[in-house]
Structure 1
Amino acid sequence: MNDTAHALGSAPTLWELVSRRAELSPGLPVFLQDDRSLTFGELHDRAERVAAGLYGMGVRAGTVVAWQLPTRIETALLSFALARLGAVQTPVIPFHRDREVGFALREAKAEFFAVPGVWRGFDHTELARRLGAKGVFEVYEALPDGDPAVLPPPPADGTTVRWIYWTSGTTSDPKGVLHTDRSLIAGGACLAHALRPTAGDVGSIAFPYAHIGGPDYTVMLLLYGFPAVLFEQFALPGALAGYRRHGVTIAGGSTAFYSMFLAEQRKQPGVKLIPTLRLLAGGGAPKPPGLHHAVVREMGVQLTHGYGMTEVPMITMGAPDDSAENLATTEGRPPQGMEIRLVDGEVRLRGEAVCRGYLDPAQTAEAFDADGFLRTGDLGHLTDGGHLVLTGRRKDVIIRKGENISAREIEDLLHRHPAVGDAAVVGLPDPERGELVCAVVEQPPGAAELTLDAVTSFLRSQGLSVHKLPERLEVVDALPRGETLRKVLKYQLRERYSGTVK
């Protein structure tokens, strides 16, 4: 991290970070969207006016404000206005509906709820009213407004919990994850330290700003003084015009994003998809080594992948100067201040970027060990050089006849098969074996239909042990994915195929 970024990273609160960057670079852009832009100075001044408008509505330090908004400049302004007031904000992913939204509003005891009105054909205002939400107000093109002279001093303490993020409740209710300004600043500083951007870079936020990656990425912009293009809706090839128009140099999001960019690149081999692009970066889902090598070879860019979660937005990250082997096969190294402990193969974490726990004290007690390390549920090991290799999740370990089988190992091998576009491996209940290994694959257009014999023969040729070979194959048009970082929802595959016999 350069000296300026390091000094800014010592800011106690997010609002202090905004103020310092506004003094240093008032005329430089921070957000670009379509034909609009917002400078660092405007971010500070307009957020203060929005904060004054919210203050007039009754929002104070400690007031819980939920918001379910798309990735827009206005969303960032509202979020920083709430940070200016010291309110407790709980972002909700805009694709979530009654169950998840209602749960978040109840558990957080939200006193206000900002919604976009009708967005992408769905009436969020009606949803809020149906759920009996308090203090509902619409934010899209218009924002609350007022005279900053009415505002009290900004908060000075960055260690108070002012953020409640939500884990993706797949088979049970979501968990409310508690963060402070300091934990979010630490996460963004970790990301910046790994990627080493410059003031000449142009980043991109193509995922929901309500995701934990929203502040993670924005902190990096504030530390290094460069802008990011916001995409309210990400789809290819439509979004390519925005990347090209603004000269994006750093893009990404997750493994699914890499695959989508690569698929577009293959439509015109040899013609660079985004001429200015130099780096794809992301995390949130496993990255097959074969995909990494294909992206680097065919797109002519670097690819650095990392490891994070709602509880710890930045844990490890590949660095541009890592070896090709480390970039392809590991999740990178932890930054200074992030402690990794391995207990029976489980990754445990301690550091400033780690959340302060959960809304439910019982969940907090269960999640942290006696030394204050967060139990992640992920399995892995560290290389001699300190790079983290993830081998799967505890719940992704398939126990077949008493033998542990890593779903991740089989998935990485399946991605090498030319007739496999994407793959997920799950364990299904089996009365004789305890669990059987089921491979679920997507195939690229024009590929010959796969058979179980062909798959097992290929895996044997790649050196997979016989006891790990899949006993079942399912070919699907599309794997079920979440709406945020497009992670495969394995619980849906288990539900879909557990009750059927082949």
Structure 2
Amino acid sequence: MTTLSLASVLAESARRRPDHLALIEGEQRITFAQMWDQVRGQAAALEAEGVRPGDRVALMAPNTAEFPRAYYAILAAGAVVVPVHLLLSAEEVEHVLRDSGATLLLCHVAVAQTGVAAGLAVGVRTLTLGPEVPALASVKRLEENQATPLPLHRTTQADDPAVIFYTSGTTGRPKGAVLSHLNMVMNATVNAFDANDARPDDVALGALPLFHSFGQTVSLNTTWRVGATVVLLPRFEAADAIALMVRENVNTFHGVPTMYVRLVEAARDAPELPRLKIAVSGGASLPVPVLEAFEKTFGTPIYEGYGLSETSPSASVNQPHFGTRPGSVGHALWGIDVEIARAEIDERIELLPVGELGEIVIRGHNVFTGYLGNPEATAEALVDGWFRSGDLGTKDADGFVTIVDRKKDLIIRGGFNVYPREVEEVLLRYPGLSEAAVIGIPDPVHGEEICAVVVPDPAAAGPLDVDELIAFAQDHLGRHKYPRRVEVVDQLPLGPSLKVLKRELRRQYR
């Protein structure tokens, strides 16, 4: 019997560095010892509310101290965390609660209107987190229960479920990806000690949503695994983020590409910039022009990585040990294999030679145990011991993995394959352009036509000239690749994890 708990990430840092700051949020300063005491108290309160080991407890909260406190309390009680995206409608939250079999919903008062309504609709009891709010007086607060703290976290097996992440649901209803304690502890550990030069005295900005796998594993669990400090930012605004990083001496930033775009823009007016040691990008492919602009502005290399909710999430990342390569997602993390397989074969894994384009497949300690209650989808995703990512990419002779695009985002124009990321990289080198998303739209002649949805740079001297942009693309791309249609917008639609929602763009412009 092998026991392991994700709660030990916090418990061990509390034992080793009790007086070191674990968390900063606003005026709050909480040490590891204080946080672990609070967590054990909330775990006891959950048990008093009837939570038992193995129960699924949904957690709906922004990046405030309430999230990590409740997150680790659920784990310490031996229960399973079901994080809920904050941008979901009440109906979508109902699906998560119903599908996960959650017995309790912990909901921050800031999002209680949606959470409480969803809980009532499906008969799941709701407790609120955070300050007292008169309008919510009828809903019990978890903090009201002053139970005697648990002496230790409850026993769990290494393969027991720790977290159930609901995927973004680009096709059909979101599915619950079940991550074990082993998955989550190992991913935090290899991120902390093998990916980058993380140190106990680092200070990391927690601006990524903690309900998402990237923010949860890399910003929270990894930082606490090494015994360092997390500074929480409840809502990401680039200018506020820069000011907060300067004020709190933040040296580590984790973000998605849209965050890096915003930081470069905001840096133009910032009186002072933070001195960053580590900057990590994930969640979506980082355009090389954005990487170059950030590194020039902040004087810090970006280590781009790759992963999915089903892989805990980190699978590969540019690592100082191997060197970095702009445009790639680096090497597989310790104990993980990332390879390229023939994409058109579904029933088995056939690995391809170096340099060939195919589907990225992953195996290792980070791969999830399956989709909750969905054996068919699990069987499609886990083949011959590998997880099929649905992403297309290559791996070169030096071991660098490069993402070409999502299989479902591939555009086929006149029988020729067009990879949106390649087109986006070219467009973003056009002066006066801030963001670009390329999609395929139905076309009676070519099957699909290429459409670019772009956001002008707010600092540009004049309005964006669409004809010039198309001509620029035509000069730098093959005849079948350049966009024939360009839509100019103020902003691109973003999901809860700040990824561009291309499905929304396809729906809007089809």
Query: What TM-score results when the alignment is normalised by the length of structure 2?
Result: 0.89
Q: Partner of 2:202 in structure 1?
A: 201
User: 1:115·1:124 contact (CA, 8 Å) conserved in 2?
Assistant: no
Letter of the aligned partner of 1:281 in structure 2? V
Match of 1:93 in 2: 85
* 2:239 and 2:267 in contact (8 A); partners too: no
The 10-residue stretch of structure 1 (217-226 or 385-394) with the greater mean CA deviation from structure 2: 217-226
Report if aligned partners of 1:117, 1:125 keep a CA contact under 8 Å in 2.
no
Preserved contact between residue 47 and residue 78 of structure 1 (Cα < 8 Å):
yes
Cα deviation, residue 27, structure 1: 0.9
2:104 corresponds in structure 1 to: 112
- Taking the aligned partners of 1:243 and 1:452, their CA distance within structure 2 comes to 37
Q: Which residue does the alignment assign to 2:139? A: none
Of 237, 260, 263 in structure 2, the residue corresponding to residue 261 of structure 1 is: 263
Structure-2 change in CA distance of 1:447 and 1:375 (3 Å) = farther
Indicate the residue corresponding to 1:346 in structure 2.
359
Structure 2 counterparts to residues 307-326 of structure 1, below 5 A: 307-312=306-311, 313-320=313-320, 323=323, 326=325
Instruction: Return the letter of the residue paired with 2:282.
Output: G
Aligned to 2:402: 389
Amino acid at match of 1:223: R
2:223 maps to a residue whose letter is L
Q: Secondary structure at the match of 1:354?
A: coil
Question: Does the aligned pair in 2 maintain the 1:441–1:474 contact within 8 Å?
Answer: yes
SS at match of 2:296: helix
The worse-fitting range, judged by mean Cα deviation, of 434-443 and 34-43 is 34-43
What is the match of residue 22 of structure 1?
Answer: 14
Cα drift, residue 434 of structure 1: 0.8
Q: Which runs of 5+ in 2 are unaligned?
A: 132-141, 343-357
Q: Secondary structure at the match of 1:480?
A: coil
How far apart are residue 272 of structure 1 and its match? Answer: 4.1
* Aligned counterpart, 1:488: 500
Q: Distance in 1 between matches of 2:360 and 2:178?
A: 20
| 1:225 paired residue number | 227
Distance 1:336 1:259 in 2: 30
Q: Whole-Å Cα distance in 2 between the matches of residues 125 and 493 of structure 1? A: 28
CA drift of 1:73 comes to 1.6
Contact 1:184 1:215 in 2 (8 A): no
Partner of 2:334: 336
| 1:134 counterpart letter in structure 2 | V
1:155 maps to 155
Q: What is the aligned counterpart of 2:446 among 415, 419, 433?
A: 433
Deviations 1:326-374 (A, max 9, x none): 0x221111112111221120001111111111011111011111x1211
CA shift in 2, pair 1:291/1:125, >3 Å: closer
**Alignment CA distance shift 1:239-1:127 (3 Å):** farther
Residue 227 of structure 1: CA displacement?
0.5
Q: What is the CA distance between 1:394 and its match in structure 2?
A: 0.7
Q: Structure 1 counterpart of 2:471, which letter?
A: S
2:78–2:153 Cα contact (<8 Å) kept: no
Determine the structure 2 residue equivalent to 1:3: none
How big is each residue's C-alpha offset from its partner over 1:368-410, in whole Å with a ceiling of 9 and x where there is no partner? 11x1211111000112211110000111111111111111110
Tell me the distance in 2 between the aligned counterparts of 1:153 and 1:393: 40
Corresponding residue of 1:457 = 471
Structure 1 pair 129–342 and aligned structure 2 pair: CA distance change class (3 A): closer
Map of 2:136 onto structure 1:
none
Match of residue 165 from structure 1: 165
SS in 1 for 2:30: strand
Q: Give the partner amino acid of 1:104.
A: V
Identity of aligned residues (%): 31
- The alpha-carbon deviation at position 95 of structure 1 amounts to 2.1
Q: Please state how far the C-alpha of 1:171 moved relative to its aligned partner.
A: 4.7
- Structure 1 position 71, deviation (Å): 1.3
Q: Do 1:440 and 1:474's aligned partners in 2 also have CA atoms closer than 8 Å?
A: yes
Uncovered stretches (5+) of structure 1, i.e. residues with no partner: 1-9
Indicate the larger mover: 34-43 or 54-63: 34-43
Which of 36, 39, 64 is the aligned partner of 2:31?
Answer: 39
Read off the aligned partner of 1:367 and give its amino acid letter.
A
**Aligned residue number for residue 286 of structure 1:** 285
> 3-state SS of the aligned residue for 2:239?
coil
CA distance in 2, matches of 1:126, 1:179: 26
Aligned positions, number: 478
Change (3 A) 1:258 1:133: farther
* TM superposition shift of 1:231: 1.2
Q: Tell me the CA shift for residue 162 of structure 1.
A: 2.9
Q: Measured at CA, do residues 323 and 341 of structure 1 come closer, stay the same or move farther in structure 2, by a change above 3 Å?
A: closer
Looking at structure 1, the residues matched to 496 and 82 of structure 2 have their Cα atoms a distance apart, in angstroms, of 18
Distance in 2 between residues matched to 1:262 and 1:153, nearest whole Å: 43
* 1:57-206 alignment runs, 5 A limit: 57-119=49-111, 123-141=113-131, 143=143, 144-148=145-149, 154-192=154-192, 193-206=194-207
**Does structure 2 conserve the Cα–Cα contact (< 8 Å) formed by 1:177 and 1:355?**
yes
Which secondary structure state, in structure 1, belongs to the residue aligned with residue 10 of structure 2? helix
Q: Distance in 2 between matches of 1:224 and 1:30?
A: 11
2:375 maps to which residue? 361
1:118–1:329 CA distance, 2 compared to 1 (3 A): closer
Paired amino acid for 1:220: T
Amino acid at match of 2:417: N
- C-alpha distance in 2 between matches for 1:157 and 1:453: 61
Name the CA distance, whole Å, in 1 between partners of 2:469 and 2:243.
39
> 1:453, 1:323 → 2: CA distance?
40
Change (3 A) 1:45 1:152: closer
Q: Which residue of 1 aligns with 2:426?
A: 413
Quick check: 452-461 or 177-186, which moved more? 452-461
TM-superposed CA distance for 1:321, in Å, is 5.7
SS of the residue 1:474 aligns to? strand
Cα separation, 1, equivalents of 2:170 and 2:465? 30
Q: Is the 8 A contact 1:302 1:320 kept in 2?
A: no
* Secondary structure of the corresponding residue to residue 7 of structure 2: helix
Q: Distance in 2 between matches of 1:125 and 1:450?
A: 42
For residues 470 and 233 of structure 1, what CA distance do their matches in structure 2 show?
Answer: 34
CA distance in 2, matches of 1:426, 1:86: 44
1:280 Cα deviation from its structure 2 partner? 2.0
Structure 2 Cα separation of the partners of residues 413 and 165 of structure 1: 34
Distance 1:118 1:292, change over 3 A: closer
Query: Displacement, 1:31?
Result: 1.1
* Partner in structure 1 of residue 386 of structure 2: 373
Give the deviation of 1:37 after TM superposition: 1.8
Residues 231-246 of structure 1: pairs in structure 2 closer than 5 A: 231-246=233-248
Between the aligned partners of 2:36 and 2:391, the Cα distance in structure 1 is 39
Counterpart in 2 of 1:6?
Answer: none
2:15 aligned with 1:13: no
TM-score, normalising length from structure 1?
Answer: 0.90
Post-superposition offset of 1:455: 2.4
The 1-side partners of 2:231 and 2:123 are apart by: 32
